[in-house]
Protein backbone atom coordinates (compact mmCIF):
# COMPACT_ATOMS: atom_id res chain seq x y z
CA UNK A 1 0.00 0.00 0.00
CA UNK A 2 2.80 2.43 0.89
CA UNK A 3 5.84 3.38 -1.16
CA UNK A 4 9.15 1.94 0.03
CA UNK A 5 10.68 1.70 -3.45
CA UNK A 6 11.11 5.34 -4.51
CA UNK A 7 14.71 6.47 -4.13
CA UNK A 8 14.90 10.25 -3.86
CA UNK A 9 18.06 11.91 -5.18
CA UNK A 10 19.51 13.59 -2.08
CA UNK A 11 22.85 14.44 -3.66
CA UNK A 12 23.69 18.12 -3.39
CA UNK A 13 21.05 18.76 -0.72
CA UNK A 14 23.40 18.80 2.28
CA UNK A 15 22.04 15.46 3.52
CA UNK A 16 24.62 14.08 5.97
CA UNK A 17 24.74 10.63 4.40
CA UNK A 18 25.18 12.03 0.90
CA UNK A 19 27.24 15.17 1.42
CA UNK A 20 30.44 13.67 -0.02
CA UNK A 21 28.77 11.69 -2.80
CA UNK A 22 29.42 13.01 -6.30
CA UNK A 23 26.38 14.13 -8.23
CA UNK A 24 27.27 12.53 -11.54
CA UNK A 25 26.42 8.91 -12.41
CA UNK A 26 23.39 6.75 -11.84
CA UNK A 27 21.73 7.19 -8.47
CA UNK A 28 21.36 3.41 -8.04
CA UNK A 29 25.12 3.02 -8.45
CA UNK A 30 25.78 5.01 -5.28
CA UNK A 31 25.58 3.06 -2.04
CA UNK A 32 25.88 5.01 1.23
CA UNK A 33 24.68 2.82 4.11
CA UNK A 34 26.09 4.89 6.93
CA UNK A 35 24.14 7.59 8.81
CA UNK A 36 21.04 6.18 10.54
CA UNK A 37 18.29 7.90 8.64
CA UNK A 38 16.00 6.40 6.01
CA UNK A 39 16.02 6.69 2.25
CA UNK A 40 12.23 6.27 2.23
CA UNK A 41 9.91 9.18 1.54
CA UNK A 42 7.97 10.25 4.61
CA UNK A 43 4.38 8.99 5.06
CA UNK A 44 1.78 10.82 2.95
CA UNK A 45 0.00 12.26 6.01
CA UNK A 46 3.25 13.79 7.27
CA UNK A 47 4.00 15.44 3.92
CA UNK A 48 0.46 16.77 3.75
CA UNK A 49 0.72 18.21 7.27
CA UNK A 50 3.97 19.97 6.39
CA UNK A 51 2.44 21.46 3.24
CA UNK A 52 -0.40 22.79 5.37
CA UNK A 53 2.11 24.57 7.62
CA UNK A 54 3.74 26.16 4.59
CA UNK A 55 0.38 27.24 3.21
CA UNK A 56 -0.48 29.00 6.48
CA UNK A 57 2.64 31.07 5.94
CA UNK A 58 3.36 32.00 9.56
CA UNK A 59 6.36 30.40 11.27
CA UNK A 60 6.49 31.96 14.72
CA UNK A 61 7.57 30.53 18.05
CA UNK A 62 5.94 27.25 18.94
CA UNK A 63 5.12 25.38 22.16
CA UNK A 64 4.61 21.74 23.03
CA UNK A 65 0.93 22.44 23.66
CA UNK A 66 -1.78 20.10 24.91
CA UNK A 67 -2.70 18.60 21.50
CA UNK A 68 0.97 17.89 20.90
CA UNK A 69 1.32 16.20 24.29
CA UNK A 70 -1.87 14.20 23.75
CA UNK A 71 -0.50 12.87 20.45
CA UNK A 72 2.63 11.68 22.29
CA UNK A 73 0.69 10.26 25.23
CA UNK A 74 -1.71 8.29 23.06
CA UNK A 75 1.09 6.94 20.86
CA UNK A 76 3.15 5.57 23.74
CA UNK A 77 0.07 4.17 25.45
CA UNK A 78 -0.82 2.22 22.29
CA UNK A 79 2.65 1.19 21.15
CA UNK A 80 4.61 0.75 24.37
CA UNK A 81 2.11 0.41 27.18
CA UNK A 82 2.83 3.46 29.33
CA UNK A 83 0.79 6.60 29.96
CA UNK A 84 2.57 9.93 30.29
CA UNK A 85 1.63 12.96 32.32
CA UNK A 86 2.05 16.36 30.68
CA UNK A 87 4.30 17.68 33.44
CA UNK A 88 6.88 14.99 32.62
CA UNK A 89 7.47 16.26 29.08
CA UNK A 90 10.65 18.21 28.38
CA UNK A 91 10.84 19.03 24.65
CA UNK A 92 14.28 19.26 23.10
CA UNK A 93 15.79 19.66 19.65
CA UNK A 94 17.31 16.18 19.62
CA UNK A 95 18.20 13.18 21.74
CA UNK A 96 21.96 13.77 21.50
CA UNK A 97 21.49 17.36 22.66
CA UNK A 98 19.41 16.11 25.58
CA UNK A 99 22.05 13.53 26.50
CA UNK A 100 24.75 16.19 26.52
CA UNK A 101 22.50 18.50 28.52
CA UNK A 102 21.94 15.80 31.14
CA UNK A 103 25.69 15.21 31.37
CA UNK A 104 26.38 18.91 31.87
CA UNK A 105 23.65 19.34 34.48
CA UNK A 106 24.11 16.27 36.65
CA UNK A 107 27.79 15.26 36.25
CA UNK A 108 30.70 17.43 37.29
CA UNK A 109 33.93 17.59 35.32
CA UNK A 110 36.04 14.51 35.95
CA UNK A 111 33.14 12.44 37.26
CA UNK A 112 32.09 9.21 35.60
CA UNK A 113 29.36 8.24 33.16
CA UNK A 114 28.71 4.57 32.36
CA UNK A 115 28.26 3.37 28.79
CA UNK A 116 28.10 -0.13 27.27
CA UNK A 117 30.28 -0.42 24.20
CA UNK A 118 30.05 -1.14 21.38
CA UNK A 119 27.45 1.62 21.43
CA UNK A 120 26.24 4.68 19.55
CA UNK A 121 29.42 6.74 19.31
CA UNK A 122 27.99 10.13 20.43
CA UNK A 123 27.67 8.59 23.91
CA UNK A 124 31.44 8.52 24.38
CA UNK A 125 31.96 11.71 22.40
CA UNK A 126 29.44 13.65 24.48
CA UNK A 127 31.02 12.53 27.74
CA UNK A 128 34.58 13.30 26.72
CA UNK A 129 33.74 16.59 25.00
CA UNK A 130 32.38 17.94 28.28
CA UNK A 131 35.33 16.83 30.37
CA UNK A 132 33.58 13.91 32.04
CA UNK A 133 35.03 10.41 32.39
CA UNK A 134 33.88 7.38 30.43
CA UNK A 135 33.26 4.28 32.55
CA UNK A 136 32.86 1.40 30.12
CA UNK A 137 30.77 -1.63 31.07
CA UNK A 138 31.29 -3.54 27.80
CA UNK A 139 28.58 -5.79 26.46
CA UNK A 140 29.40 -9.49 26.68
CA UNK A 141 29.69 -11.07 23.25
CA UNK A 142 28.67 -14.71 22.92
CA UNK A 143 26.86 -17.08 20.55
CA UNK A 144 23.26 -18.23 20.56
CA UNK A 145 22.01 -21.76 19.82
CA UNK A 146 22.19 -21.04 16.08
CA UNK A 147 25.79 -19.86 16.28
CA UNK A 148 24.85 -16.20 15.80
CA UNK A 149 26.23 -13.38 17.90
CA UNK A 150 24.43 -12.91 21.20
CA UNK A 151 25.07 -9.85 23.37
CA UNK A 152 24.30 -9.61 27.06
CA UNK A 153 24.93 -7.22 29.94
CA UNK A 154 27.72 -7.86 32.44
CA UNK A 155 25.66 -7.14 35.55
CA UNK A 156 28.49 -7.83 37.98
CA UNK A 157 30.63 -5.36 36.09
CA UNK A 158 27.77 -2.87 36.00
CA UNK A 159 27.31 -3.16 39.76
CA UNK A 160 31.01 -2.51 40.28
CA UNK A 161 31.01 0.43 37.87
CA UNK A 162 27.93 2.02 39.43
CA UNK A 163 29.41 1.71 42.92
CA UNK A 164 32.33 3.94 41.98
CA UNK A 165 32.60 6.93 44.28
CA UNK A 166 32.35 9.55 41.53
CA UNK A 167 30.08 7.77 39.03
CA UNK A 168 26.94 9.85 38.54
CA UNK A 169 25.12 8.68 35.41
CA UNK A 170 24.53 5.80 33.01
CA UNK A 171 23.66 6.16 29.33
CA UNK A 172 21.56 3.14 28.33
CA UNK A 173 20.59 2.29 24.75
CA UNK A 174 17.37 0.33 24.13
CA UNK A 175 16.95 -0.95 21.46
CA UNK A 176 20.71 -1.10 21.33
CA UNK A 177 22.55 0.65 18.51
CA UNK A 178 24.50 -0.98 16.86
CA UNK A 179 24.05 -4.60 18.03
CA UNK A 180 20.26 -4.62 17.61
CA UNK A 181 19.30 -6.06 21.00
CA UNK A 182 15.93 -5.29 22.55
CA UNK A 183 16.63 -5.79 26.22
CA UNK A 184 14.29 -8.07 28.17
CA UNK A 185 12.05 -6.70 30.90
CA UNK A 186 14.29 -8.40 33.46
CA UNK A 187 17.43 -6.80 32.00
CA UNK A 188 15.88 -3.33 31.94
CA UNK A 189 14.65 -3.70 35.52
CA UNK A 190 18.05 -4.91 36.77
CA UNK A 191 19.84 -1.99 35.10
CA UNK A 192 17.40 0.46 36.68
CA UNK A 193 17.71 -1.19 40.11
CA UNK A 194 21.51 -1.02 40.04
CA UNK A 195 21.42 2.64 39.08
CA UNK A 196 18.89 3.45 41.79
CA UNK A 197 20.82 1.52 44.44
CA UNK A 198 23.99 3.49 43.76
CA UNK A 199 22.36 6.89 43.16
CA UNK A 200 23.35 6.85 39.49
CA UNK A 201 20.92 8.67 37.19
CA UNK A 202 19.73 6.41 34.38
CA UNK A 203 19.42 8.11 30.99
CA UNK A 204 17.62 5.74 28.63
CA UNK A 205 17.94 6.45 24.90
CA UNK A 206 14.83 4.86 23.39
CA UNK A 207 14.89 6.66 20.06
CA UNK A 208 14.58 3.35 18.16
CA UNK A 209 11.84 2.12 20.49
CA UNK A 210 9.13 1.95 17.81
CA UNK A 211 11.32 -0.09 15.47
CA UNK A 212 10.87 -3.57 16.91
CA UNK A 213 11.92 -6.21 14.39
CA UNK A 214 11.80 -9.35 16.53
CA UNK A 215 9.19 -10.94 18.77
CA UNK A 216 10.20 -9.23 22.02
CA UNK A 217 8.40 -5.93 22.68
CA UNK A 218 10.24 -2.92 24.02
CA UNK A 219 10.34 -2.56 27.79
CA UNK A 220 10.58 1.18 28.24
CA UNK A 221 12.04 2.45 31.49
CA UNK A 222 8.75 4.36 31.70
CA UNK A 223 6.93 1.07 32.38
CA UNK A 224 8.91 0.42 35.58
CA UNK A 225 7.88 1.28 39.13
CA UNK A 226 7.55 4.91 40.19
CA UNK A 227 10.71 4.52 42.28
CA UNK A 228 12.83 3.29 39.37
CA UNK A 229 11.54 5.61 36.66
CA UNK A 230 11.81 8.48 39.12
CA UNK A 231 15.58 8.02 38.86
CA UNK A 232 15.50 8.17 35.08
CA UNK A 233 15.54 10.49 32.09
CA UNK A 234 13.92 8.79 29.10
CA UNK A 235 14.66 10.06 25.59
CA UNK A 236 12.21 9.49 22.74
CA UNK A 237 11.60 10.98 19.31
CA UNK A 238 9.68 10.37 16.09
CA UNK A 239 12.87 10.92 14.10
CA UNK A 240 14.01 7.34 13.46
CA UNK A 241 10.49 5.95 13.23
CA UNK A 242 9.18 8.35 10.60
CA UNK A 243 12.40 9.74 9.06
CA UNK A 244 12.09 13.16 10.71
CA UNK A 245 15.63 13.64 12.06
CA UNK A 246 16.11 16.83 10.07
CA UNK A 247 13.17 18.45 11.82
CA UNK A 248 15.19 18.49 15.07
CA UNK A 249 12.59 17.34 17.56
CA UNK A 250 12.60 14.98 20.54
CA UNK A 251 10.58 14.38 23.67
CA UNK A 252 12.36 13.82 26.96
CA UNK A 253 10.41 12.39 29.90
CA UNK A 254 11.44 13.13 33.49
CA UNK A 255 8.94 11.91 36.08
CA UNK A 256 10.69 13.19 39.19
CA UNK A 257 9.79 16.82 39.85
CA UNK A 258 13.11 17.76 41.46
CA UNK A 259 15.14 16.12 38.70
CA UNK A 260 13.02 17.80 36.04
CA UNK A 261 13.14 21.22 37.67
CA UNK A 262 16.93 21.08 37.96
CA UNK A 263 17.26 20.03 34.34
CA UNK A 264 14.90 22.74 33.09
CA UNK A 265 16.35 25.55 35.19
CA UNK A 266 19.93 24.90 34.11
CA UNK A 267 19.28 24.19 30.44
CA UNK A 268 16.29 26.38 29.54
CA UNK A 269 18.40 28.87 27.58
CA UNK A 270 20.57 26.25 25.88
CA UNK A 271 18.76 23.28 24.33
CA UNK A 272 15.31 22.99 25.85
CA UNK A 273 12.76 24.30 23.43
CA UNK A 274 9.35 23.69 21.97
CA UNK A 275 9.03 21.86 18.66
CA UNK A 276 9.17 23.99 15.55
CA UNK A 277 6.00 24.58 13.55
CA UNK A 278 7.08 21.85 11.16
CA UNK A 279 8.14 19.37 13.84
CA UNK A 280 4.86 19.79 15.71
CA UNK A 281 2.79 19.16 12.60
CA UNK A 282 4.92 16.21 11.52
CA UNK A 283 4.77 14.50 14.90
CA UNK A 284 1.02 14.94 15.29
CA UNK A 285 0.39 13.59 11.80
CA UNK A 286 2.77 10.67 12.29
CA UNK A 287 1.45 9.64 15.69
CA UNK A 288 -2.17 10.26 14.75
CA UNK A 289 -2.38 8.91 11.19
CA UNK A 290 0.66 6.80 10.29
CA UNK A 291 0.50 3.66 12.41
CA UNK A 292 -0.33 1.52 9.36
CA UNK A 293 2.67 2.99 7.54
CA UNK A 294 4.95 2.00 10.41
CA UNK A 295 3.57 -1.54 10.50
CA UNK A 296 4.26 -1.92 6.77
CA UNK A 297 7.71 -0.37 7.19
CA UNK A 298 8.64 -2.95 9.82
CA UNK A 299 7.62 -5.79 7.49
CA UNK A 300 9.71 -4.26 4.71
CA UNK A 301 12.78 -3.81 6.94
CA UNK A 302 12.48 -7.41 8.12
CA UNK A 303 12.52 -8.46 4.48
CA UNK A 304 15.61 -6.33 3.82
CA UNK A 305 17.34 -7.87 6.82
CA UNK A 306 16.57 -11.39 5.65
CA UNK A 307 17.76 -10.57 2.12
CA UNK A 308 21.11 -9.11 3.21
CA UNK A 309 21.88 -11.92 5.63
CA UNK A 310 20.92 -14.59 3.11
CA UNK A 311 23.10 -13.09 0.36
CA UNK A 312 26.09 -12.42 2.60
CA UNK A 313 25.72 -15.68 4.52
CA UNK A 314 25.82 -17.70 1.31
CA UNK A 315 28.79 -15.79 -0.09
CA UNK A 316 30.77 -15.54 3.16
CA UNK A 317 30.24 -18.60 5.35
CA UNK A 318 32.66 -17.33 8.01
CA UNK A 319 30.83 -14.02 8.38
CA UNK A 320 28.56 -13.70 11.40
CA UNK A 321 25.91 -11.27 12.61
CA UNK A 322 23.75 -10.26 15.52
CA UNK A 323 20.03 -11.09 15.07
CA UNK A 324 18.03 -7.93 14.48
CA UNK A 325 15.57 -7.47 17.37
CA UNK A 326 15.27 -3.69 17.07
CA UNK A 327 16.44 -0.69 14.96
CA UNK A 328 16.95 -0.91 11.18
CA UNK A 329 20.71 -1.43 11.52
CA UNK A 330 22.36 -4.79 10.82
CA UNK A 331 25.56 -5.56 12.78
CA UNK A 332 27.83 -7.82 10.71
CA UNK A 333 31.08 -9.46 11.86
CA UNK A 334 33.99 -9.68 9.38
CA UNK A 335 36.78 -10.61 11.78
CA UNK A 336 37.17 -14.04 10.16
CA UNK A 337 38.38 -12.29 7.00
CA UNK A 338 40.19 -9.19 8.28
CA UNK A 339 42.94 -8.92 10.89
CA UNK A 340 42.34 -5.24 11.62
CA UNK A 341 39.60 -2.66 11.32
CA UNK A 342 41.54 -0.35 9.00
CA UNK A 343 41.94 -3.01 6.31
CA UNK A 344 38.21 -3.77 6.50
CA UNK A 345 37.42 -0.07 6.10
CA UNK A 346 39.73 0.21 3.07
CA UNK A 347 38.14 -2.84 1.50
CA UNK A 348 34.60 -1.51 2.00
CA UNK A 349 35.33 2.01 0.81
CA UNK A 350 37.96 1.51 -1.89
CA UNK A 351 37.18 -1.93 -3.32
CA UNK A 352 33.48 -2.48 -2.68
CA UNK A 353 32.79 1.29 -2.79
CA UNK A 354 30.25 1.24 0.02
CA UNK A 355 30.13 3.83 2.82
CA UNK A 356 29.34 2.33 6.22
CA UNK A 357 29.47 3.57 9.76
CA UNK A 358 32.50 1.43 10.54
CA UNK A 359 32.26 -0.82 13.56
CA UNK A 360 35.39 0.62 15.12
CA UNK A 361 33.73 3.98 15.76
CA UNK A 362 31.34 2.30 18.21
CA UNK A 363 34.19 1.66 20.62
CA UNK A 364 35.38 -1.42 22.45
CA UNK A 365 34.22 -4.59 20.68
CA UNK A 366 33.34 -2.83 17.43
CA UNK A 367 36.53 -3.30 15.41
CA UNK A 368 36.04 -5.76 12.55
CA UNK A 369 32.31 -5.06 12.18
CA UNK A 370 30.25 -3.17 9.62
CA UNK A 371 26.86 -1.61 10.39
CA UNK A 372 24.46 -1.85 7.44
CA UNK A 373 21.58 0.62 7.21
CA UNK A 374 18.59 -1.41 6.01
CA UNK A 375 16.19 1.54 5.70
CA UNK A 376 16.37 1.89 1.92
CA UNK A 377 14.77 0.36 -1.18
CA UNK A 378 15.78 -3.28 -1.54
CA UNK A 379 17.50 -2.72 -4.87
CA UNK A 380 20.02 -0.49 -3.06
CA UNK A 381 20.89 -3.40 -0.79
CA UNK A 382 21.00 -5.73 -3.78
CA UNK A 383 23.58 -3.44 -5.37
CA UNK A 384 25.54 -3.21 -2.13
CA UNK A 385 25.66 -6.99 -1.75
CA UNK A 386 26.68 -7.33 -5.41
CA UNK A 387 29.54 -4.89 -4.87
CA UNK A 388 30.73 -6.56 -1.69
CA UNK A 389 30.68 -10.00 -3.30
CA UNK A 390 32.32 -8.82 -6.52
CA UNK A 391 35.08 -7.05 -4.60
CA UNK A 392 35.67 -10.13 -2.46
CA UNK A 393 36.12 -12.26 -5.58
CA UNK A 394 39.17 -10.11 -6.41
CA UNK A 395 40.60 -10.21 -2.87
CA UNK A 396 42.80 -13.12 -1.69
CA UNK A 397 41.57 -12.76 1.89
CA UNK A 398 38.31 -14.38 0.82
CA UNK A 399 39.89 -17.29 -1.08
Same domain, 123 and 233: yes
Cα–Cα dist 181/192, whole Å: 17
Measured over all CA atoms, what is the biggest interatomic distance in the chain, rounded to whole angstroms? 62
> pLDDT tens digits for the chain (399 residues)?
899 999 999 988 999 888 877 766 677 676 789 999 999 999 999 999 999 999 999 999 888 999 999 999 999 999 999 999 999 999 999 999 999 999 999 999 999 999 999 999 999 999 999 999 999 999 999 999 999 999 999 999 999 999 999 999 999 999 999 999 999 999 999 999 999 999 999 999 999 999 999 999 999 999 999 999 999 999 999 999 999 999 999 999 999 999 999 999 888 766 666 899 999 999 999 999 999 999 999 999 999 999 999 999 999 999 999 999 999 999 999 999 999 999 999 999 999 999 999 999 999 999 999 999 999 999 999 999 999 999 999 999 998
pLDDT at position 267: 80
Torsion angle (degrees, nearest 10) of CA 373, 34, 145, 217: -50
**Residue 173: which CATH number?**
3.40.640.10
Count of other CB atoms within 10 angstroms of residue 223:
18
In a domain, 63, yes or no: yes
As a residue count, the chain comes to 399
Do 383 and 39 contact (CB within 8 A), yes or no?
no
Distances (CA, A) of 375 to 46, 108, 242: 18, 38, 11
Same domain, 284 and 295: no
pLDDT at position 230: 98
Do 209 and 78 contact (CB within 8 A), yes or no?
no
Do 100 and 235 contact (CB within 8 A), yes or no?
no
Domain range spanning residue 326? 16-43+291-398
In a domain, 279, yes or no: yes
pLDDT at position 307: 98
Q: How many domains does the chain have?
A: 2
Q: What's the distance, Cα to Cα, between the start and end of the chain in Å?
A: 43
Cα–Cα dist 270/272, whole Å: 6
Do 362 and 212 contact (CB within 8 A), yes or no?
no
Same domain, 113 and 231: yes
Cα–Cα dist 40/223, whole Å: 31
Same domain, 35 and 125: no
Cα–Cα dist 87/21, whole Å: 44
Final residue before a domain boundary, out of 268, 289, 310: 289
In a domain, 11, yes or no: no
Same domain, 232 and 83: yes
- DSSP-assigned beta bridge partners for residue 233: 203
pTM (2 decimals)?
A: 0.96
Do 5 and 297 contact (CB within 8 A), yes or no?
no
Final residue before a domain boundary, out of 257, 289, 321: 289
Same domain, 32 and 144: no
pLDDT at position 25: 67
Q: How many distinct helices (H) and strands (E) make up the chain?
A: 13, 14
Amino acid sequence: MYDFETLVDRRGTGASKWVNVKAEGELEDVVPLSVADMEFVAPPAVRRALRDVVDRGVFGYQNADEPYFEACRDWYARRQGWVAEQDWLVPAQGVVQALCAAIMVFVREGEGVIIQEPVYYPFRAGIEAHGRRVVNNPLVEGLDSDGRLAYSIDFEGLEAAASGEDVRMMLFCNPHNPVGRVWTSEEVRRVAEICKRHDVILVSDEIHGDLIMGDRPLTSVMTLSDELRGNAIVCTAPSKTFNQAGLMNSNIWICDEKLRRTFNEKMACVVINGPSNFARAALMAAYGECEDWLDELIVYIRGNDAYVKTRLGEAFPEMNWSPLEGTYLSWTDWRAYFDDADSLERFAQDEARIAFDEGKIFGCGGAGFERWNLACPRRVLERACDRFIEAAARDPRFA
